[in-house]
Every structure is written in C-alpha cells, then in structure tokens.
Amino acid sequence: MSEAIKTISEHASFGGTQGYYEHTSQECAGPMRFSVFVPKRAGTAAVPVLYYLAGLTCSEDTFTVKGGAQRVASELGIALVMPDTSPRAVRYPGDDASWDFGVGAGFYVDATTEPWKKGYRMFSYVTEELRALVEGHFSLDGARRGIFGHSMGGHGALVAALRRPDLYKTVSAFAPITSPSRVPWGEKAFSNYLGANKSDWHAYDANELIASGKRQSEILIDQGLSDKFLERELKPEIFEATCKTHGQPLVVRRHEGYDHGYFFVSTFAEDHVRHHAKGLLA
C-alpha cells in the first residue's frame, strides 16, 4: 500500500478482495474511510469500476455488507468502490442534531456556506479526489466507470453522472431523491449547505439538470411501492415526466411490497450491476 492509503482490513470474497481503507482528504478536511472490492484478475490488467453512493445515516460499510453485490461483480470482473457519506473526524456545530443533515448526510454537494464549506465537499470528493486516489492505486480502468446509489446516494449518483458524463458511462439508482429542490430532505440540506438562493440548488438537482439539457446513457431506477418516503421525499413521477419531455432514456421499475431498506436494495443489486456491465463491458 502507498502511504496515501491506510489499510484497515482486507478479506477474501468470491475470489477477489474486499478491503476497508482510510486516507487524509483535502476536500473533506480530514480522514475519510472507504471500501473497495477488487475481483480476481489476470496479471495487472485494469478492471472496470462501479462507484456506489449510500444514503442517509449510512457509511462505507452499508452496501459493502448489506448489498450483496460482490458475487456478481466478481463474475463480471468489475470493481466496486463505496465511500462514506460525509466527513466525520472534523466536527461542526449542530452536525449531529438530526439524522437527515450533517454527519452521515453530506448529500454529495460542495457546500458554499459557513461552516460547512470547510469540509462538506462530497461532490468533489467523490468525482475527483477519491476517484483519482483509488483508480491509480488499485489499477482500475477509468475509461470504463459507472456510478449508482440509494436514496440520498441515488441523488448523488444521478447528479454526478449528469454533470460529468465524461467521467461516468453508466448510472442507476435505488429509490433516489430525484427532485431534491422540491422535497423536505433536499430543502433542508440545500438551504443549509448551499444557502437560500434556490437557483444555486439546481446544480445538484437531477430533475433540473435534465430540464437544462444534461444527458446520460439509459438510467435505471428501482422503486419499492411500500416505501414510506415515496410520496413525501422521492416523487419519481416528477423525474419520469421530465425525462420523457426532454428525451432522456429512463427505465423506472416499481415493485409491490418493497420498502426503502436494504432487503429492497439487495434484491435488485445484481440487476443494477448487470445494467452497468452492458455499458462498461461492451
């Protein structure tokens, strides 16, 4: 391991290696943890990479343990990278006052207000700093890169892919917050991280990005119909209508009986990895 990355632990998994690591982040002003699954490969050949962004209250460990994606990733020869959801080592006043803002709730934005702008820079962390770090160290193929996520992380994945199609060839999401500017979770996070001017929020709103002309390859979204956040926070019908109006390819699959948790995510995780494989292994 290079000095830039500290190994916390590594584990054999489906013929590959599941590891937990830490590094000092400039964007997040302190140590950040992440996990990486690297499949077994021949020689030193670089493998495609799929980034997963977790949701509120989650960490680098959540999808790693609960998602169950290592088996299919190993079969297809795709690496998985799972970052944490916010800075944790450097603390800010009120950062743990509620579960949907602050610690564990970085919303994958680059904050512009005090005190958050000092370390809550999760968009640049994921798309620039962590990407460069892991792809150089683990020999991952940056020409074949995708991104997906759940809930807040689904929002983050959609925004990253739409804003940076030069970086991400494929994108998908589980129960994403697709129109954060219009729902309580997004309004709370954006007003605190980005300020009161709602036009500044549009850079981190997938619905607004599609309306402004941003495009990606076909987006896959899975949504449980027993999700308690569906009507209040997720509103996939808004995003669906915008994509249809503006010609963005989109598949929304709705599932009876499934809620917002990881029994839902793990049920469809293989489908998502295979969705990405169509674009990354073509």
Which residues are catalytically annotated?
151, 227, 260
**What three-state secondary structure class fits 110?**
strand
Residue type, 54: A
> CA–CA separation, 230 vs 237, rounded Å?
10
Give every strand in the sheet of 79-83, ordered side by side. Answer: 6-13, 16-25, 30-38, 79-83, 47-53, 140-150, 170-174, 219-224, 250-255
Residue 30: which region, alpha, beta or left (left: phi > 0; alpha: psi -120 to 50)? left
Q: What Å distances lie between residue 232 and 32, 123, 173, 217, 250, CA to CA?
A: 31, 25, 18, 28, 22
